[in-house]
Amino acid sequence: MDIDSQLVSVGDQVLDSGPEGIVFDTVGEVVDETGLKIWWDLAKEGTEFPTLSDASPIRLYVESSKVDYPVRGRLILTFRSGETEPTKFIEDLDPKAGSVVVDISLGNLMEGGKPLEIEVVLRHDSGETSGPGLSIRSVDKRDLLDRIDKLRDKMSGLDRKQRTPSEELTRSLMARCLEYAQADIENRRAGRAETMISQIEEQLDREGYSWEDPPRESGGRVYIDGDGLVHVDGKPFFQRGLYLVREAEDIDELASLGFNTVFAVGDDDFMGALERADMMVVGPGAGDNMTDYVSLSRVRKRTEELYGHTSILAWYVVDEPSLRRVPVEVIRREADLIKMIDPHHPTLICDGYPFRGLQYQELVDIASPCWYPVWKQISVTTSGKCIDEIARVVPAGEAIWYVVQAWTWRNVRFPTPEEERVMTYLAIIHGSRGISWFGYKHQDKKSLRAAGDDDPELWAEIVRIVGEIRELEPLLMVPRVPARVSCEGITRVDWCPFEKDGQVLIIACNPTKIATRSNFEVGSLDGGVEVLWEDRSLKVVDGSFEDEMPPMRVRFYRGRRKT
């Protein structure tokens, strides 16, 4: 709060916990033609607190958008609760500068747990401004449990009738959501439970289990094996993906460059272009807003409209939920419900590393950490550490796809081509079996720039890397094994063998700015190793070979195991 702001206190302190399940509803903020802004300090509509003491005090802000024109006037708060006469609070506002902050304690305002309505009016020289109203109510836990029992009884009656597959899914989703509501009641989230229960009651009363059949059945092209490898049409699929692709006319060119996945859906032209180019798309999931039955129904409708497209690869459940501190159980529910709607495609969560997103990554089929060390001025070696951390917390059969930085803020440099190459191959060495680049083209260049249209040199390097991965894909699609890290002084080399059908590929990376020489113990090979794309070979002696590793350099060695 600004030191020159005026603080106003209203109401009495809550002396005990009071009623449980306190829910706030407001329309948000009000801004009038003079620039006066009035708003409640609540995260969103439907904000809930376990008890009245947890909720109190609430805070109202009255602000002016004009720095030299502080808020002045008469603030009138009207409190309405039950059948009693409204109570008014009147305060003359005259801060030195800045805003007025009103702290409202609820101790004497919600007696008996009755609903409370608060009206806000500011009278000033230019007239009168009505602020956003606020309603506060408590939710009866026992009543909610009774309503759940009645809903289950009603569903038992409907269960006697024959159901279509779509109606069967509706029934299963409702039953699961009632389980969530009951858990919310037990965990003092009664307001969220009440919303879910009310919406299911309305759905059952209006339509029962009825649901329009999807336009096409969900395809079964995609699955993940027990080693965390994605397969499409029965073949191993190393995802080479790109964010920020929006135009159908870009699809053919990107496919010809070796990309096989985009992270966006579009209109019929866009989806048609993907299918013609045999490119895949990660479709939108729930975001972090699927906390009630109405939002679930919206997500279901959108998912069913898309899942029949042969280009659908996976569902993007949510993007970086840790930034908004979304509760883990909310994301777990969303991921589970999407799998109920479409069990034929994997789910994916993208979240940051290293300290925030680990708890979300095990909730889905594909963990997709996004880690951008360059603009944070952090060592690129953390790209490998990122994958190691993720691999430790996710199940062995979960796929890992790394998101590489191919963007920057307006006044921050892009990664160099060398840094891009090192970050990409460190991720692969440490176990990523898919690589995505963020991103291609960004519409608002005032805030964010993308490599596809703002850094030709970096974009050319990304295209080169994509071509290499496409060529190496048959050997890259093997189960994760721990990376080898050779350290000597301040130098290091990260490397890993990839072995399949007698062929051995070694990828090695020097992520430091100091040249070094490294030894690679690879066991018995038939002859030496070919250094790919360098027109030279090396001898393998007693199961190992050595090579120079220039700074910020990746090298590839290929040999054949002795039979």
How confident is the model at residue 450, as a pLDDT?
93
Q: What CATH number does domain 484-560 carry, 2.60.40.420, 2.60.120.260, 2.60.40.1180, 2.40.30.10?
A: 2.60.40.1180
- pLDDT-above-90 percentage for the chain: 61
Q: In 10 A of CB 341, how many CB atoms? A: 22
CATH class of this structure's domain 6-138: mainly beta
pLDDT tens-digit map of 230-278: 999 999 999 999 999 999 999 999 999 999 999 988 888 999 999 999 9
pLDDT at 482 over 80: yes
- pLDDT-above-70 percentage for the chain: 93
pTM of the model: 0.85
410: its two tokens: 């307006």
pLDDT tens-digit map of 184-243: 998 888 888 999 999 999 999 999 999 988 888 877 789 999 999 999 999 999 999 999
Q: How far apart are CA 511 and CA 491, in angstroms?
A: 9
How confident is the model at residue 499, as a pLDDT?
96
Interior CA angle at 92 toward 88 and 93, to 5°? 120
Phi, psi of 46 (to 5 degrees): 85, 15
386: its two tokens: 């990122």
Query: Three-class SS of residue 38?
Result: strand
CA atoms within 13 A on the CB side of 496: 18
Residue 228 backbone class (left: φ over 0; alpha: ψ -120 to 50; beta: rest): left
* Structural contact between residues 8 and 102, judged by C-beta atoms closer than 8 angstroms: yes
Q: How far apart are CA 558 and CA 529, in angstroms?
A: 5
224: its two tokens: 């993940």
Q: How far apart are CA 558 and CA 421, in angstroms?
A: 19
- Domain spans, the chain: 6-138, 141-207, 222-476, 484-560
SS (H, E, C) 99-157: CEEEEECCCCCCHHHCCEEEEEEEEECCEEEECCCEEEEECCHHHHHHHHHHHHHHHHH
Q: Do domains 222-476 and 484-560 have the same CATH topology?
A: no
- pLDDT category, 111, cuts 50, 70, 90? low
**Nearest residue to 89 via CA among 129, 133, 120:** 120
Q: Distance of CA 249 to CAs 270, 271, 276, Å?
A: 8, 11, 12
Q: Distance of CA 315 to CAs 206, 400, 409, Å?
A: 30, 14, 27
Q: Distance of CA 267 to CAs 263, 271, 304, 473, Å?
A: 14, 6, 15, 31
- pLDDT category, 3, cuts 50, 70, 90? very low
Query: Three-class SS of residue 257?
Result: helix
140: Cβ contacts below 8 Å, ≥ 6 apart: 21, 190
Q: How far apart are CA 469 and CA 427, in angstroms?
A: 12
Query: Three-class SS of residue 31?
Result: strand
Query: Three-class SS of residue 274?
Result: helix
Average pLDDT over residues 291-314: 92
How confident is the model at residue 43, as a pLDDT?
59
- pLDDT category, 2, cuts 50, 70, 90? very low
Please give the residue that has the higher pLDDT: either 286 or 416. 416
pLDDT at 17 over 70: no
* Structural contact between residues 360 and 331, judged by C-beta atoms closer than 8 angstroms: yes
**Nearest residue to 432 via CA among 488, 496, 374:** 496
Domain 222-476: give its CATH code. Answer: 3.20.20.80
- pLDDT category, 44, cuts 50, 70, 90? low
Beta bridge pairs of residue 127: 124
Mean pLDDT score of the chain, rounded to an integer?
89
pLDDT at 1 over 50: no
Beta bridge pairs of residue 118: 79, 134
* Residue type at position 500: K
CA atoms within 13 A on the CB side of 532: 15
Least confident of 92-106, 355-369, 373-387, 536-550: 92-106
Interior CA angle at 514 toward 512 and 519, to 5°? 85
How confident is the model at residue 98, as a pLDDT?
67
Query: Three-class SS of residue 214?
Result: coil
- pLDDT category, 463, cuts 50, 70, 90? very high
Which range in 65-69, 84-88, 155-159 is most confidently predicted, on average pLDDT?
155-159
